[in-house]
Every structure is written in structure tokens, then in C-alpha cells.
């Protein structure tokens, strides 16, 4: 097999160009690790959700003053070895310090911190719910999963079974009246692996989810709720999603478009892949964000290998390579991660025929071909 090297500049320079000119490729390569579905851009941007901070803490308690002016004391232990009734002597940081009647502050503490951080107030009766969320780290876990202390970088280490249990726990608390509980529930849904969301089937009313999607006050959470609707909805919701997609494409509106594509595919299955090939890949009026959204949705469904078989997603990627050779590198990392090497000849031909191929796409294709060679693939 002929060996290829990046055509312009060094490998490092090509990678730098890759990061600047193909940002979506980074999502297609990594999917943000084992957790955090990349369809939820807002959660991906924030990442330090209440649930992440709860996971990373070595101690978490509910605390409230016994009377006006008295110090905070522990009213429930969520995590760690604190005692009920203990006074919170260390400083408490955070904006939410008001404690309404019947509620308490959710305080978290990490080993490296000098004091506590308040995440906000929450009903005291939710203590058991918070303990149950924490306990999902132990479901089907092994020794590394229980390693201590956790940090935000390792806080996403849950098993698939643990994530399914956690998603089931937060579903009833989505958009509940208490802001902290609602934020925590949404954050855990948004950062859960896509395939784990299937636990929501028949456990939440589709009409309720549709209402959240249509609520302008919840626009930052819309991607997660679109993803949820793909699992919770039925024929009525599928029709509605199709109409939303047509409207979005008509106005080139790429907001939450990847999640919208994914929900549509989840409900309607493989029959919609050909529609994407025609309406997005084959339509020269499509913008880069629209194309990226379709590719990302296909990648997520392909990883799940459920509603749409991975083999059908690979066919769509091959169609994309033929229809959009200048952008063919966009799908190379995912094909390689899936161990699919039959595109090697096509990629080799594209590089040979396009000496001025964008360095970013050239780099992605080169890496694919090098990995193919390492897997024993030969190109004549």
C-alpha cells in the first residue's frame, strides 16, 4: 500500500488546521468520551453540571439554620461521613444562600477545597432521591469506578446500567418546580450516553416533552428534550418532528438541528436515512452547519446501532463521500473507529485526484488510511 503523509506542512500543523477548520470533526472523533451525548451542545459547553459536581464531591449534605441567624447545620447526609445535626463550620461559597421553608441548601465539598459550595436550595424530602443518584455510580461497577476522590474529569465514569438507572431517577424531576432539582435532572439527561436514554420509553408523556421543546424559556435545554422525545414519542410525535425538520431546512435554521435529526431517525428508523442523503448531502444549497448536524446525528445513531443499523449509517457515509468528496474527511474518523475499511480505495483516489485538498480533510483521510494499513488493508 502506498504510504501517505499530510500534503501541506507538518503533522502538527495539519492537526492545528483540522481543529480550526473542522470543529465538528472533533465531536465525530471523540463523541466526548463514553458519556455526555454530543447532541446536547449546551450541556457539552457547560459540562460542570450539578450532577457532575455531586459525583466529584467527597462530601455532600443538606444543611439549613435551625432558626433565623443561627449557623447552618446538617439536616441530611447525601454523601460522605458527616453526621446529622453537625454544624457547618467551614466557609460556604455560592450564590444561593437563601433557605425557604421546608428546604435546605445542597452543599458539596471536594478534598482540595477549603470549604463548602452551595448548589442551591432543594426540598429536604429530596435527600433520598439525591442519595439514589449518587448510588448509581456503584451499579455494575468495578474498583476503578469506586476510586476516590472523584474529580470533574472522572465524574462521568458510570456503567451503562448505572446511567440507565440514573436517567430513570431524574425523569420525574424534569422541569419540576424546584429550580435546583430541575437543573440537576436536565443536566443528567443531557450528559447521559445516548443509548441509555432508551430507558425513558413509556416512562414519560410525549406531550409533556413536546411542551418543553416549544417553551422559549427552555431553549437552552431543547436539544436534550428533542433527544428524549425520540425515545418517548410515537407516530404523532414522528409526524411533528418531520414538520419541524422541513421548516428548519427551509430557513437553514441549524439550532438544535443535530438533535432534531437524531430524534427523527430514532422514531422513523432507517427509512429516513435516504431522505437525509437526498435533502442534505445531495442539496448544494445546504449550509455547513446543516451538513454537520446531519453527520453528527448519523454518528450518534450509528454508535447506538439500534433504531438505525450501523450498516445503514455506513452506507450513508459512503454516499456522503461520493457526493461531497471535498468534505470526505468528515466521516473518516468514525469509519475507522467502527473498523470499516472498505472506503480506503475511495479515500486513496480522492487524495490522488485532489492535490489541493484542504489540509484538515487531507489529514483525517491520511489517518484513516494509516489505520487501515495497520489493520492489514492493502490498496492497489
- In tens, the pLDDT along 272-312 reads 999 999 999 999 999 999 999 999 999 999 999 999 999 99
**What pLDDT is attached to residue 285?**
97
152 SS3 class: coil
Interval 195-240: pLDDT, tens: 999 999 999 999 999 999 999 999 999 999 999 999 999 999 999 9
Cβ 298 vs Cβ 338: under 8 Å: no
| Cα–Cα dist 358/298, whole Å | 23
Region 103-129 average pLDDT: 95
**Residue 144 pLDDT class (50, 70, 90 cuts):** very low
**What pLDDT is attached to residue 354?**
80
| Cα–Cα dist 42/38, whole Å | 9
Q: Where are the alpha helices (DSSP H) in the chain?
A: 11-21, 23-30, 41-46, 50-56, 127-135, 160-170, 179-191, 206-214, 222-232, 235-250, 257-268, 271-276, 288-304, 310-323, 332-337, 344-353, 359-374
Q: What percent of the chain has pLDDT over 70?
A: 84
**Residue 153 pLDDT class (50, 70, 90 cuts):** very low
* CA atoms within 13 Å, Cβ hemisphere of 58: 11
Region 366-377 average pLDDT: 95
All cell numbers assigned to 285: 444549497
**Residue 40 pLDDT class (50, 70, 90 cuts):** confident
| Cα–Cα dist 161/177, whole Å | 28
CA angle, 75 as apex, 72 and 76 as ends, to 5°? 130
DSSP character for 15?
H
Q: What is the mean pLDDT of the chain?
A: 87
For 178-182, which contacts have Cβ atoms below 8 Å and span 24 or more sequence positions? 178/103, 178/121, 178/122, 178/123, 178/126, 179/120, 180/50, 180/96, 180/106, 180/119, 180/120, 180/121, 180/122, 181/122, 181/123, 181/126, 181/129
N residues, the chain: 380
Q: Which residues pair with 117 in a beta bridge?
A: 93, 108
All cell numbers assigned to 245: 425538520
| Cα–Cα dist 317/359, whole Å | 20
Given a cut of 60, is residue 156 above it in pLDDT? no
Contacts of 280 (CB under 8 A, 6+ apart): 249, 286, 290, 291, 294
Q: Where are the domains of the chain?
A: 11-40+204-374, 41-60+75-80+123-203
Given a cut of 70, is residue 72 above it in pLDDT? yes
Interval 319-350: pLDDT, tens: 999 999 999 999 999 999 999 999 999 999 99
**Residue 47 pLDDT class (50, 70, 90 cuts):** low
Given a cut of 90, is residue 9 above it in pLDDT? no
Please report the sign of the dihedral spanned by the C-alpha atoms of residue 83, residue 84, residue 87, residue 91: positive
**What pLDDT is attached to residue 147?**
46
Q: What percent of the chain has pLDDT over 90?
A: 73
Closest residue by Cα to residue 220 from 41, 380, 36 = 41
CA distances from 39 to 127, 250, 340 (A): 30, 21, 23
All cell numbers assigned to 193: 450516553
**What pLDDT is attached to residue 111?**
85
Comparison of pLDDT for 330 and 97, the residue scoring more: 330
Give the per-residue SS3 of 205-228.
Answer: CHHHHHHHHHCHHHHHHHHHHHHH
**What pLDDT is attached to residue 13?**
46
Instruction: Decide the pairing of beta strands 92-93 and 72-79.
Output: unpaired
Given a cut of 60, is residue 31 above it in pLDDT? no
**What pLDDT is attached to residue 26?**
45
Omega before 258 cis (within 30°)? no
**What pLDDT is attached to residue 272?**
96
Comparison of pLDDT for 336 and 359, the residue scoring more: 336
| Cα–Cα dist 300/313, whole Å | 10
Comparison of pLDDT for 296 and 10, the residue scoring more: 296
Comparison of pLDDT for 157 and 136, the residue scoring more: 136
Contacts of 140 (CB under 8 A, 6+ apart): 159, 160, 161, 162
**What pLDDT is attached to residue 155?**
47
Given a cut of 60, is residue 73 above it in pLDDT? yes
106 SS3 class: strand
**Residue 103 pLDDT class (50, 70, 90 cuts):** very high
Residue with cell 432539582: 181
Contacts of 327 (CB under 8 A, 6+ apart): 291, 320, 361
**What pLDDT is attached to residue 120?**
95
Comparison of pLDDT for 98 and 296, the residue scoring more: 296
Amino acid at each position: 500500500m502506498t504510504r501517505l503523509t499530510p500534503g501541506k506542512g507538518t503533522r502538527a500543523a495539519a492537526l492545528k488546521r483540522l481543529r480550526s477548520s473542522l470543529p465538528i470533526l472533533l465531536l465525530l472523533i471523540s463523541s466526548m468520551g463514553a458519556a455526555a451525548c454530543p447532541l446536547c451542545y449546551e450541556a457539552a459547553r457547560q459540562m460542570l453540571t450539578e450532577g457532575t459536581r455531586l459525583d466529584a464531591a467527597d462530601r455532600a449534605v443538606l444543611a439549613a439554620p435551625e432558626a433565623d441567624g443561627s449557623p447552618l447545620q446538617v439536616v441530611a447526609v447525601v454523601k460522605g461521613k458527616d453526621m446529622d445535626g453537625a454544624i457547618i463550620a467551614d466557609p460556604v461559597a455560592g450564590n444561593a444562600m437563601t433557605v425557604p421553608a421546608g428546604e435546605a441548601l445542597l452543599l458539596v465539598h471536594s478534598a482540595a477545597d477549603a470549604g463548602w459550595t452551595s448548589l442551591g436550595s432543594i426540598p429536604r424530602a429530596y435527600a433520598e432521591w439525591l442519595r439514589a443518584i449518587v448510588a448509581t455510580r456503584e451499579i455494575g461497577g468495578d474498583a476503578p469506578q469506586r476510586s476516590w476522590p472523584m474529580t470533574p474529569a472522572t465524574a462521568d465514569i458510570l456503567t451503562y446500567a448505572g446511567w440507565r438507572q440514573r436517567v430513570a431517577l431524574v425523569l420525574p424531576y424534569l422541569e419540576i418546580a424546584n429550580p435546583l432539582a430541575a437543573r440537576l435532572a436536565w443536566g443528567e439527561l443531557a450528559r447521559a450516553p445516548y443509548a441509555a436514554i432508551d430507558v425513558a420509553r413509556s416512562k414519560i408523556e410525549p406531550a409533556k416533552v413536546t411542551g418543553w421543546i416549544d417553551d422559549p424559556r427552555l431553549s437552552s435545554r431543547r436539544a436534550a428534550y428533542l433527544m428524549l422525545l425520540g425515545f418517548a414519542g410515537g407516530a404523532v410525535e414522528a409526524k411533528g418532528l418531520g414538520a419541524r425538520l422541513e421548516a428548519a431546512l427551509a430557513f437553514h435554521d441549524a439550532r438544535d438541528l443535530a438533535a432534531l435529526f437524531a430524534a427523527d431517525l430514532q422514531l422513523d428508523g432507517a427509512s429516513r436515512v435516504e431522505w437525509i442523503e437526498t435533502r442534505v448531502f445531495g442539496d448544494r444549497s445546504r449550509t455547513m452547519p446543516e451538513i454537520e448536524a446531519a453527520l453528527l446525528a448519523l454518528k450518534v445513531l450509528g454508535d447506538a446501532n439500534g433504531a438505525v443499523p450501523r450498516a445503514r449509517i455506513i452506507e450513508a457515509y459512503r454516499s456522503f463521500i461520493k457526493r461531497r468528496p471535498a468534505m470526505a474527511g468528515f466521516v473518516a474518523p468514525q469509519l475507522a473507529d467502527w473498523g470499516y475499511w472498505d472506503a480506503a480505495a475511495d479515500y486513496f483516489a480522492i487524495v490522488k485526484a485532489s492535490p489541493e485538498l484542504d489540509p484538515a480533510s487531507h489529514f483525517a483521510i491520511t489517518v484513516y488510511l494509516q489505520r487501515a494499513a495497520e489493520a492489514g488493508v492493502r490498496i492497489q
